[in-house]
Structures are given as C-alpha cells and as structure tokens.
Structure 1
Amino acid sequence: MVRIVGIEHVQLAMPPGGEAAARGFYTGLLGLPEVPKPPVLAARGGCWFEASGVKVHLGVEADFRPAQKAHPALLVDDLAGMIAALTAAGVAVVPDEPIEGRARCFVSDPFGNRIELMQG
C-alpha cells in the first residue's frame, strides 16, 4: 500500500510586496532562517523559511485573502519565551487550551494568516 510519509513543507499565501514584512516576522520574530528560492520560482516573489524539521514557504497571491482557520502548527522549545518576544514586538497572542499535554497559542503573521505555536 502506498502511504504518506511526511510533510515536505507548508505553503502560505501573502500579498504582493510583502517580502520585507514576511522576513521581519518569520526570521526576525520566529527565528526561521530564510533560504533562497530556486531561480525558476524566485521571479514570482515570496519567501522560503526553513530550519531543521520545518519549512514554511510564502507565495505571492494577487487576490490574497489570509487563512484565518486553516493553519500550520509550529513546535517551539520555549513557548513562554516566544510569547514574551512576540508580545514585546506588538504581536497579539491568543492562548488556547493545551492539547495532549502541549501548551499552545495562536498568532497571526503580518498578513493575517493564522499560526499555531505549541510547546514541543
């Protein structure tokens, strides 16, 4: 039987011209390094952020609407520290009930896309 064995990356949308805001949030606040997009895709705009075990790609969508329900859940090693840093930067953090013993919260990226953060 053929089966799914993992997720290679998560793709989120952003509006045209949002690369600087994406870098400020995903690299500056979440700590995900930006990696170069392949040349064939770079002309389309957007940004790729990748670290060990996580890949978040943002692509430009001309008729952009944020994902307010669908979302990636990113594991962090210090949720309290991440919440403090995000709050200090003016990012609204919405706490939620733990699931399976994991503390978690929700934030929105600069474009309104929902992001779940969970204590790994």
Structure 2
Amino acid sequence: MTYTIKAIDHIQLAAPKGSENQARHFYVAILGCKEVEKPEALRKNGGAWFTFGTVQIHIGIEDPFAPAKKAHPAFEIENLEALKQHLLNNKVEIIDDNNLPGANRFYAHDPFGNRLEFLEWK
C-alpha cells in the first residue's frame, strides 16, 4: 500500500475555558484570519476555528490548560516587517530570532501563551 501526505489541513492549539472571544480578537482582528463555523457535533466542546488560505487553526478548550511553549506552528509571511509592526502596534510582544539561515523570522505568543513563529524566506 502506498500513500501520499498531501498537505496540513489544520493546526490545533489549546486555550483555557471561556477564552473564545480572546481567540477571535487575536486571530481575526489582529492576524486577519476568518472564523469558520465548527460542525454542530463539535460546538459543545467550545473553542473556535479560523482559516487563512487552505489551512485552518483550531483553538480547542483544554482544562486544565497549559500553553505550548516549544511546539509551535510556523507561518510563512509576505512582508514580515509589516506584520511585525502591526503586532507591535497591537501590544503583541515580538521575540526576534536570526538562527535560521536564509530566513527572517520572529516569534510571538497568542493571548494564551502558545508560541507562534512567523518567517519570510530571503
């Protein structure tokens, strides 16, 4: 049997109970993602789903909650400096990192402490 991994369909990140509106603010209002409706059968679990391009970010409720400090999604960005300035203007702390040859990149955290990487290839 042979198979092919075609793409990443979605990224799952955790958030504390009752944090859906914070997630909406960060992922929609700040990052510019669009919210997508969760299937009816999954709504009872809380959380929220967002999309950009062909990838979705699923924010799932975890109780007790612990943010992903090392594990993280990495987002390839066009015009990384513009995003950096936009995040700084929205009081999102930036952690610069110059350790990946051929890329400009930085890290930030979502409102729940999950690590996010943003990079632009040179």
**C-alpha separation between the residues in 2 aligned to 1:114 and 1:91?**
12
Alignment: residue pair count: 120
Structure 2, unmatched stretches of 5+, are: none
**C-alpha separation between the residues in 1 aligned to 2:97 and 2:9?**
27
Q: Is 1:90–2:84 an aligned residue pair?
A: no
Shift of 1:79: 0.9
- Residue aligning to 2:109: 108
Which SS does the other structure have where 1:99 is aligned?
coil
* TM, length-normalised to structure 2: 0.92
Q: Is 1:40–2:38 an aligned residue pair?
A: no
1:61-80 Cα offsets, whole Å, 9 max, x none, are: 11110000000001221211
* TM, length-normalised to structure 1: 0.93
What is the 5 A alignment of 1:20-39?
Answer: 20-39=21-40
CA contact (8 A) 2:105 2:120 kept: yes
Shift of 1:28: 1.0
1:20-43 Cα offsets, whole Å, 9 max, x none, are: 110111111111111100011111
Superposition misfits of 4+ residues, deviation over 4 angstroms:
none
Which SS does the other structure have where 2:50 is aligned?
strand
Shift of 1:6: 1.8
Give me the CA root mean square deviation: 1.3
Q: Is 1:55–2:72 an aligned residue pair?
A: no
Which SS does the other structure have where 2:64 is aligned?
coil
Which SS does the other structure have where 1:11 is aligned?
strand
**C-alpha separation between the residues in 1 aligned to 2:9 and 2:43?**
19
Structure 1, unmatched stretches of 5+, are: none
- Residue aligning to 2:82: 81
Q: Is 1:66–2:67 an aligned residue pair?
A: yes
**C-alpha separation between the residues in 1 aligned to 2:5 and 2:98?**
29
